[in-house]
Structure 1
């Protein structure tokens, strides 16, 4: 990049002019930045034997922010020009007023690279992608004569960001994302069930388009669907539950993770507010949010404020030791940012968000945990859920679960929901397996209307006394 032209991705915006505008917007403020973004995304869906959707989207724009205390002035535009930036400055300054603040230091720099900067959309030719989808469809149907419908999709995106700060420092990040999903519907004597498998990350498409990868997804989708053909109505009542490793960590993410984000705790609206240094979970429970894992869906080299991502311990041996912070909430709470300031796009202001949130494993054999379950549920797959951040109450639906009686895994159950609250569930963890795993790379997290990619993980976990909602008492 030359000294006189600010070209993060071939814009005509003059760097010095942009910096002058940014300094005017943040005059008297405590923080702020100019966030520039270009994003491209491609999606292909092959459904019921034909191409149903083929989409390509491209967007670019900027967001300008000025922060003073708890107040944020934010303006954005899909037009990257000096005229649009001038208008944005006028809007952002309304929040700062006469100011009086002192600009905080810029984030530390980093040279680490957590993922490739190659555009995954161009990593495979369009005909190759279409042919792969046709192969997935044919392969899935040949696996079992009960397969009556197949849906397969390939998604790839590339986000390029540049963050310019009032001191003149710049941070750049190039963020790939890919994902392949396979879903099947099976029919047996008029009963139909669905199974799906998905995965990806901040990687190219090469590995995901390899037959060894998508064939394993097709087999897993079929396995889940066939299991549910034999499912019986789920029981209902308070009982012990064993959660499988990996993706079931979505319950941890929702029921606990959101409650450990800095803004909710600063405002006192989290169930964990004011509990720093206190025991909030059973002994042995350690939870981290880690954005530094190579190639993972939830990882970010730097967050959307330019802070390097971190490996942050939230709960250590049951004790609350940290929250996830962006720059504004960290400053107001008198702590350091943790690299969790994230935004969906240039049209959104950053806020504290999770990256890859997971619970460390213990030393118990998973089979022993199930054997100790006298009357309960063994849940290994989850669908949607709802959580109230203020009290941590959650409701999650199971996509694959089994009834366990006297330590024996019985029939799969259908319609099971897990009901409880995060604070209580943490304290009722009775055993941690030695099989900690991360999810295959398919999570998205919503907060205040913004969606960002995330990762989850956990070992097999036994939780005592959860309420199971089902269709039989």
Structure 2
């Protein structure tokens, strides 16, 4: 049964009293807000022929922040009442001290809505969700006798936020999320390999439990597993690489995305610090962070400081032109906020974070890009990776990749890792495909212990001279 709408200032707190406490906390500060949140989430996991996990979580609370210069005082509580607010205001106030600052201008207002406000948890009953997972398991096993294990999961969440600003404005947002994931393990002649696929976004659950949707997701997971079942050991060495479109944008997200967040550049710890206005990528490379795409996993109508999300150009035709900013870093750097102030929950302080980060299409035909490879790798799926923000160096593992010889895609390879640094990889882009696509809605991003949902995307790319780690050539 659906819960009543989250109206903290109608049902829990007196708005005028809360505003007085907030203003006491930020007196003499540069900025601050009272962030209130209620969240419900459900997750079901079906593994090895049975329902293994079923969880439901509900939480609510507030966070109060006062900011002065580079210092922020933050206090949070799972109890939403005035005594808790009084204590939080006194704690946050400690960061301001006897400062005599002037509050920054409030965020602009917006009436835009990028997604619905219905709770996806209520889209289907528990029994139907379990039966859908059971059908996925049976369907995958019936597709191929080599399937020995199937894991499938459904998750949904409903986040409601209210942000009270010191000037008195109240900003609200209701954020749905749903996701389906399927993983398959196949075995042949004693060798086992896996493949996985998923879909999701800020929308209801019904589209994901539609049979046509979960069948397609399951078939794709199986296809990847069977590709890997016949993969050979990856070569090692420096070679040209073609990256597929869509999800391979995770390399773009990690290798350069974090380096274009405002805090790392203000502190001089990013590989891109001090390079504004300079060429950092090959001509034709344009990279954006766009939180305004309807229903996408990384989209937000407003960020967690109340600033409307934005379409921010970061790199334009190879030139560095912008960073992603929250209000604090934007103010300290003398620029405008970009709507990228995000936090995991009321228990976390906001910071500059990505939303949907992607590269625009070019003009090259993806097939011709592969045909131009004399000896290289065609990588279309990625798993985990590691990145050093200061140097920009990255290591990414491929979950689906192929050897290319004389322009022909040949055997799949297993164990390939791509090694390089973001700046060099950007400048090494030799061709940009005309097939930009966004990922299917499965991304999460970690930073400073906080996780938020994100989106990635890119066209097919031909990059010269990447180091490929694998077996000895």
Other structure's SS at 2:220 match: helix
1:440-455 maps to which residues of 2 (within 5 A)?
A: 440-455=440-455
Structure 1, residues 370-405: CA drift from partner, whole Å, max 9, x if none?
000011100000000000000100000000000111
Query: Matched residues in 2 for 1:397 and 1:118: separation?
Result: 37
Q: Does the CA contact (< 8 Å) of 1:8 and 1:161 recur in 2?
A: no
C-alpha contact (below 8 Å) 1:247/1:456 kept by paired residues: yes
1:123: which partner in 2? Answer: 123
Matched with 2:3 is none
Question: What's the TM-score, normalizing by structure 1?
Answer: 0.98
Task: Indicate conservation of the 8 Å contact 1:357/1:456, yes or no.
Answer: yes
CA distance in 2, matches of 1:155, 1:7: 25
Please state if 1:432 is matched with 2:446. Answer: no
Provide the residue aligned with 1:373 in structure 2: 373
Superposed CA deviations along residues 281-317 of structure 1, whole A, max 9, x for unmatched, are 0000000000000000000000000000000100000
Matches within 5 A, 1:30-45: 30-45=30-45
Deviations 1:126-163 (A, max 9, x none): 11111101110111111001001100000000000000
Matches within 5 A, 1:88-103: 88-103=88-103
How many Å apart are 1:12 and its aligned residue? 1.5
Could you list the runs of 4 or more consecutive aligned residues of structure 1 that deviate by over 2 angstroms after TM superposition? 6-11
Alpha-carbon RMSD: 0.9
Q: Which residue of 2 aligns with 1:232?
A: 232
- Quote the Cα distance in structure 2 between the aligned partners of 1:287 and 1:208: 30
Q: SS at 2:278's partner residue?
A: coil
Structure 2 unaligned spans of 5+: 1-5
1:447 Cα shift?
0.3
Q: 2:221 aligns to what SS in structure 1? A: helix
1:351 corresponds in structure 2 to 351
8 Å contact kept, 1:182–1:198:
yes
Aligned residues: 468
Name the residue aligned to 2:261.
261
CA distance in 2, matches of 1:333, 1:105: 15
Q: How does 1:35-114 map to 2 (within 5 A)?
A: 35-114=35-114
Q: CA deviation at 1:7?
A: 3.0
Residue of structure 2 equivalent to 1:132 = 132
State the secondary structure of the residue aligned to 1:277: coil
Query: SS at 1:95's partner residue?
Result: coil
Q: 1:313 touches 1:321 (CA, 8 Å); kept in 2?
A: yes
Once residues 48 and 10 of structure 1 are traced to their aligned partners in structure 2, the CA distance between those partners, rounded to angstroms, is: 47
TM-score, with structure 2 as normaliser: 0.98
Which region of structure 1 is more displaced relative to structure 2, 9-18 or 322-331? 9-18
Q: Tell me the equivalent position of 2:28.
A: 28
- Counterpart secondary structure, 1:264: helix
SS of the counterpart of 2:95?
helix
| Cα distance in 2, alignment partners of residues 441 and 340 from structure 1 | 19
Give the match's secondary structure for 1:177: strand
Alignment partner of 1:173 is 2:165: no
Deviation digits for residues 49-70 of structure 1 (CA, Å, limit 9, x no counterpart): 0000000001100000000011
C-alpha contact 2:9 2:15 (8 A) present in aligned 1:
no
> Partner of 2:108: helix, strand, or coil?
coil
SS of match in other structure, 1:96: coil
In structure 1, runs of 5+ residues without a counterpart are 1-5
- Indicate the residue corresponding to 1:340 in structure 2: 340
1:182-261 alignment to 2 at 5 Å?
182-261=182-261
